Chain A
Amino acid sequence: MMILKIAWRNVWRSKGRSFVVMSSIVVGIWALIVGNGFMNGFMVGYMDEAINYDISNIQVHHPEFKQDFDINLSITDGLKKTEEIREWEGVEAVTTRTIVNGMIASTKKASGIQIRGIDKKRESEVTSLDSLIKEGAYFEGIKRNPIVIGAKLAENLKVKLRQKVVLTFNDSDGNITSAAFRVAGIVKSSSLNINERYAYVLQSDINTLLGIGDEIHEIAMLTSEGVHEGDILTKYNNTYSGDLVEDWKLIAPEMALMQEMYGSMLYVLMFIILTALIFGIINTMLMAVLERLKELGMLMAVGMNKLRVFIMILVETLSLAIISSPVGLFISFMTISYYRNVGVDLTNYSEGLEAFGYASILYPFVAQETYIVVTVGVIITSFLAAIYPAWKAVKLKPVEALHKI
């Protein structure tokens, strides 16, 4: 169709101007996608750390345990259930924990903490706690009562590897009990909990001190990739009764909320960038129309109807978007791919970020749909931006535009 041809060639008539608009579309797309990728990396980094090292996907407790961590509220037949769950499809790893709140003290300082009695092999399968060891070893090298603490906690207590700390807590009869532990390893994580609120000891050691035999307070599961956590919850509730079983969204509702919020961030960002873009495009196309008043008047005088004029301006505008979108998408894709491999090191800023529980190396990524959503958004935007200038063109009176025939 000739109108398409004219519109297409008109795009190249004012190369500089078209280039400016196309560049802003490219930059807009890039900012959107890369911005979204970084946000995703930020969020997933945070969630991954929290889920992998701290919460794990699913936790089981006595229904009232978490209210005030009463050590007598253990999971009925906890170990037996754990052995059974381990065989379930979709469950990658399971571990058990004894949890007691207490105090940790060095010769210099004391601090309130949560003592976590763990099964060291199973724990590393579920939370990879062993991979976080920065100093010393994962419960190795200390014969009696080894303990693993976070780097921040160690710093607060001013304790070094192999030095002694004292844990104080109530045993099952409510008597205050103390025991000396020796630091076997120091873990470092961006998670606040791991870094300064937890002290890991062996389940067997703590259970003996507490006098609770092989009772446990927490079962933590890591589900297989792609498994829907809800299905495991359902299965658990169908198999056993009387326990509180939760997935990470229930355990840490703030994370679920955050995930949702980040999901809508793309749209907020899109709204902002596309609004800026729409004005840029309107401005340019309006210029393109005003510059050609005489020509448009002539076209309408000789019989080009309003619909055709409208389509012409529309096509001109859309062409700008259609040419520049692939360029923007490509550059965005390359940027994301590059940083996805290399990672973005935020160590310089990570003091602040780690306090919030964010990872210090960020791996941006973008969902495939995002490329489509952004492209569609840009095309709709240029479509909307075309309407006003096109309407201006259509409203022209040929005689006035030409001034005289």
Chain B
Amino acid sequence: MSGVIKAENLHKVYSETKIPVKALNGVNLEIMEGEFTAIVGPSGCGKTTLLNIIGGLDHPTMGNVLVANEDIANMKDGELIDFRLKNIGFVFQAYNLIPVLTTLENVEFIMLLQKQDKTQREKRSMELLEEMGIADKANMRPSELSGGQQQRVAVARALASKPKFILADEPTANLDSKSTENLLDIMAKMNKEENATFVFSTHDQRVIEKAKRIVTLEDGVIISDVKK
């Protein structure tokens, strides 16, 4: 079986700055379907850069990225948007939700962009909100939810369209320890129940402990890759 994500010899140099920064120096990484992977490492080691590239948000300076056997490294920006819509779920550290939509509408949003039909959309969204334990907040606006609840809505939205995998860059960075644990438990549960593939970065030791595979970066290279 081949991986959903296959990154080969990724290099990334940020050259807009005065002194070019080598953020990635030859990263090879393959993520299999159903994995629950944490990308860890000290600040500035290239976690965000790596996630951006495998998520089709940024282009590598060199190397290939295959997602579901499609080479995304050389796709145009416009094609990438559609590709992301169809294949990748995202959970960001903050600013995940559309403030003018309700919780339920936010969860439906991706499916809506994908033009799925209404009954299906609503059914799936309500099920997910139920799984996340926030079904009672379906008609509230994001501003009425706690940070932890907002992140759960973001996870629900990412999962809703059943993407090939879900990327989360420090999804718990703004959460307290209880909410952090809660969010990770939910992610783990969905990984198990729906076989959803998660790749997330973190600094948090408790989060790292929940991961089933831990990829450690340092100065833009992978220094260890441990599967539990």
Query: With the chains together, A404 CA to B95 CA distance in Å?
Result: 11
The listed residue (B95, B105, B110, B167) touching A303 by CB distance below 8 A is: B110
Query: With the chains together, A294 CA to B157 CA distance in Å?
Result: 18
B40-80: which residues lie under 8 A (CB-CB) from chain A? 48, 51-52, 55, 57-58, 77-78
Interface residues of A (CB under 8 A from B): 2, 5-6, 9-10, 13, 294-295, 297-306, 308, 397-399, 402, 404-405
A399-B81 contact given A2-B112, A298-B95, A308-B113, CB 8 Å threshold:
no
Pair B90/A302 contact, Cβ less than 8 Å: yes
Query: With the chains together, A9 CA to B84 CA distance in Å?
Result: 26
Q: Which of B96-104, B122-130, B213-221 contacts A (4 or more CB under 8 A)?
A: B96-104
Question: Count of A-B contacts with CB under 8 A?
Answer: 81
- Indicate if B191 sits at the interface (CB-CB under 8 A): no
Nearest residue, chain B, Cβ from A11: B100
B171 smallest CB distance to A (angstroms): 10
Q: List 28 A-B contacts (CB under 8 A).
A: A2-B105, A2-B108, A2-B113, A6-B98, A9-B101, A13-B99, A295-B95, A297-B95, A298-B90, A298-B92, A298-B96, A301-B55, A301-B57, A301-B90, A303-B84, A304-B113, A305-B78, A305-B82, A399-B52, A404-B93, A404-B169, A404-B170, A405-B52, A405-B55, A405-B57, A405-B90, A405-B92, A405-B169
Query: With the chains together, A402 CA to B58 CA distance in Å?
Result: 12
CB-CB under 8 A from B110, the residues of chain A are 302-303
A6-B92 contact given A302-B84, A398-B57, CB 8 Å threshold:
no
A313 smallest CB distance to B (angstroms): 14
- Indicate if B186 sits at the interface (CB-CB under 8 A): no
Query: With the chains together, A308 CA to B85 CA distance in Å?
Result: 13
A304-B57 contact given A2-B105, A6-B98, CB 8 Å threshold:
no
CB-CB under 8 A from A297, the residues of chain B are 95
Pair A399/B95 contact, Cβ less than 8 Å: no
A299-B98 contact given A306-B81, A308-B113, A398-B57, CB 8 Å threshold:
yes
Query: With the chains together, A298 CA to B101 CA distance in Å?
Result: 14
B222 smallest CB distance to A (angstroms): 19
A13 smallest CB distance to B (angstroms): 6
A404-B98 contact given A301-B84, A308-B113, CB 8 Å threshold:
no
A304-B81 contact given A298-B92, A405-B169, CB 8 Å threshold:
yes
User: Closest 6 interchain pairs by CB?
Assistant: A303-B85, A9-B100, A405-B169, A294-B95, A404-B48, A305-B81
Chain B residues bordering chain A, tally (CB within 8 A): 35
Q: Which of A297, A397, A402 counts the most chain B CB atoms within 10 A?
A: A402
- Extra contacts, 13 of them, besides A2-B105, A13-B100, A303-B84 (Cβ < 8 A), are A2-B108, A9-B101, A13-B99, A298-B95, A301-B55, A302-B90, A305-B78, A305-B82, A306-B78, A306-B81, A308-B113, A404-B169, A405-B52
CB-CB under 8 A from B101, the residues of chain A are 2, 5-6, 9
Pair A405/B99 contact, Cβ less than 8 Å: no
CB-CB under 8 A from A6, the residues of chain B are 98, 100-101
Main secondary structure of the interface of A (DSSP, over half): helix
Query: With the chains together, A301 CA to B157 CA distance in Å?
Result: 13
CB-CB under 8 A from A302, the residues of chain B are 84-85, 89-90, 109-110, 113, 157
The listed residue (A295, A300, A405) touching B81 by CB distance below 8 A is: A300
CB-CB under 8 A from A405, the residues of chain B are 48, 51-52, 55, 57, 90, 92-93, 167, 169
CB-CB under 8 A from B108, the residues of chain A are 2
Pair A402/B81 contact, Cβ less than 8 Å: no
CB-CB under 8 A from B85, the residues of chain A are 302-305
Query: With the chains together, A13 CA to B113 CA distance in Å?
Result: 22
CB-CB under 8 A from A402, the residues of chain B are 92, 95
Nearest residue, chain B, Cβ from A404: B48
Pair B55/A303 contact, Cβ less than 8 Å: no
Q: Which of B57, B86, B157 counts the most chain A CB atoms within 10 A?
A: B57
CB-CB under 8 A from A404, the residues of chain B are 48, 92-93, 169-170
Pair B96/A399 contact, Cβ less than 8 Å: no
A197 smallest CB distance to B (angstroms): 70
CB-CB under 8 A from B96, the residues of chain A are 298
CB-CB under 8 A from B98, the residues of chain A are 6, 295, 299
B178 smallest CB distance to A (angstroms): 24
CB-CB under 8 A from B169, the residues of chain A are 404-405
Pair B113/A399 contact, Cβ less than 8 Å: no
CB-CB under 8 A from A10, the residues of chain B are 100
Query: With the chains together, A298 CA to B94 CA distance in Å?
Result: 9
Q: Which of A9, A299, A300, A398 counts the most chain B CB atoms within 10 A?
A: A398
Query: With the chains together, A2 CA to B94 CA distance in Å?
Result: 22
CB-CB under 8 A from A306, the residues of chain B are 78, 81
